[in-house]
Chains A and B, each alone.
Chain A
Amino acid sequence: MNSVVCISHVPDTESRIKIAAGGQKIDETGLKFIVSPYDEYALEAAVRLKEAKDGDVTVLTFGPDRAQQALRESLSRGATKAMHVKGESGDADSLGIAKVLAAAIRSVPHDLVFFGKQGVGTDNALVGPMVAELLGYPQVNVVTHLEVGDGRLTAHREIESAEEVIETTLPAVITAQKGLNEPRYAKLQGIVAAKKIPIDTKSVADLGLDESDIYKQRVTIVSIDLPAEKTGGRKIDGADANAAAQEIVRYIRDEAKAL
């Protein structure tokens, strides 16, 4: 059972975001980058499949040089191979990114393709289903439970206040939701072993793609702005619980018009 796990390298969720000069990108200076949190569930699912059924787990990313860190970290958590497509993924729209990843995935043997349900930060939640379409595979999105059998899988897909149980065929694309599993931490042994695994590095052109179809296409960023700083509203003393409750109800009824 071979899997490809697509990883995105994103600013730590603790980060304060600053806007770069020009107003169209965030300022990466001093930002700590991490493996996008949902990708950790995707990786763990693939590594568990490998442990149960052998095969390889290839981690794949499209991004600038710094994105190699995300691959190294994923190797230390059980991935067996890594591919880095170098490029300014921040200048590509989601479909551009999907085209790059789909081309890279085609070059690697696989039964399953995993993503996190969204890249934390840009929060588009588009690339996984786009790759599924480009490869002609079925997809199950926002998966909280997964069982893989012979040529088939059963996955639980989170929807509004419920879960759908979907059965489909391999190869397939799965996007992972928190709760799918409990990701492991890297062990020292894994970190040392990971350093010896070479990262297969390619360019967009190496994949036979036309860069002009990848960058600055279909969706362009006009500006990125910070929200107006909220200063906080009224603060009241809640020592008298009944009085506080009455004031809250008045506020909800009169100002929010919700009662």
Chain B
Amino acid sequence: MANVLVFTESTNGKLKKPSREALTIARKLGAGDVVAVASDAAAAEEAGKYGAKKLYVANMGDYLTEPYTAGLAQIAKEVQPAVILFAGTSNGRDLAPRLAARLNAGVASDVDRLEWVDGKLRARRPVYSGKAFATVEVTSTPAIATTRPNAFPAEEAGGGAAEVVNVSVDAGEGKSKLVETKVPEAGELSIAEADIIVSGGRGLKEAANFSYIRDLAHAIGGAVGASRATVDAGWIDHQHQVGQTGRVVSPNVYIAAGVSGAIQHLAGMSSSKHIIAINKDSEAPIFRVADLGVVGDLFQILPALTEEVKKAKAH
């Protein structure tokens, strides 16, 4: 039976959500047994819970491209997978193409649907930031894909801990080194993985008014998003930008306040599952994609909403 190899990332034995999503779709593919890779054996319990039969644990340390490529290539040689999946995290997106070039394999990146059809990996991926969808077939062995965070559910399989297989990786002498990790604002959620995003646009009028967005995001437990206009104006850092030259996101809930809905912005967020727009202009294009549109003054509505959310959370 063929294998599906999944690269996972974890902290203290807890798998990152995108890794749980990747394991879930790996299992549902039906292309073979799910075999996971991690740099820490503590992930075995969770990897098993999400369907991995085996967990290859390699002594790769902190993430760096070259030793991880060497580790994955070595494990792929042993496992001979039909499919290799990576969650589309920063590290997954860094590693998948590098490994693919080493294995002369094709990659479907940032996919939001994945099927195993007649022995081939078929994937759907948003292109032109969601203005269109490409369905592609990866014909190489292995076939590689990176999964878009939040596009697949994470569902437990009900299994016990994965069987740990320790692997000693000979990565050779590394050229690169991780000097430090800078965390700018403590505890701030990334829009890439958030379930709820609260975004602000030019309707906020000035940088200081992003506090309206931050307060609501904080109350609701979401991430702060921003339109390109506000980033270009220097009101907020680019990490927050949603859209064609920012991040393409698909959270469960997307709240856009004072965002008119330029085509690039719509492309970056219209695949969100529940979209709420607050705008004083009833003709704003954002209302075309909104499931719930509120025509009104964000400076009145956002503080009221923040209070209501706090009340609802207190229950």
Contacts and interface: CB of A to CB of B under 8 A. Distances in A.
Interface of A: 11, 13-17, 19, 26, 37-38, 93-95, 98, 120-134, 138-142, 144, 154, 156-169, 177-179, 217-227, 230-239, 241-242, 244-249, 251-253, 255-256, 258-259
A165 B133 contact: no
A248 B305 contact: yes
Contacts of B192: 160
A139 B309 CA distance: 44
B179 A165 contact: yes
B109 A233 contact: no
Contacts of B292: 233-234, 236, 247-248, 251
Given A13-B244, A179-B238, A258 B132 contact: no
A26 B131 CA distance: 11
5 contacts: A126-B97, A159-B181, A241-B300, A248-B276, A251-B276
Interface string B238-255: 110100111010001101
Given A225-B132, A241-B301, A251-B274, A166 B178 contact: yes
Interface string B255-273: 1000000011000001101
A194 B302 CA distance: 51
A256 B273 contact: yes
Nearest to B241: A178
Nearest to A99: B101
Among A37, A164, A239: residue with most chain B CB under 10 A: A164
Interface stretch (B34-42, B53-61, B182-190): B182-190
Identify the interface centre among A14, A165, A226, A248: most chain B CB within 10 Å of its CB.
A248
Q: Which 6 A-B pairs have the closest CB atoms?
A: A238-B296, A218-B106, A133-B101, A245-B304, A241-B300, A233-B291
Contacts of B155: none
B42 to A, nearest CB: 20
B66 to A, nearest CB: 6
Contact of A161 (B91, B188, B313): B188
Interface string B182-220: 111000111011011000000000000000000000001
Contacts of A154: 179
Contacts of B136: 219-222
Contacts of B105: 95, 218
Given A217-B106, A230-B288, A248-B292, 8 more contacts: A93-B106, A134-B101, A161-B190, A218-B139, A227-B133, A227-B271, A235-B295, A248-B308
Nearest to A132: B98
B122 interface: yes
A226 B177 contact: no
A252 B253 contact: yes
A241 to B, nearest CB: 4
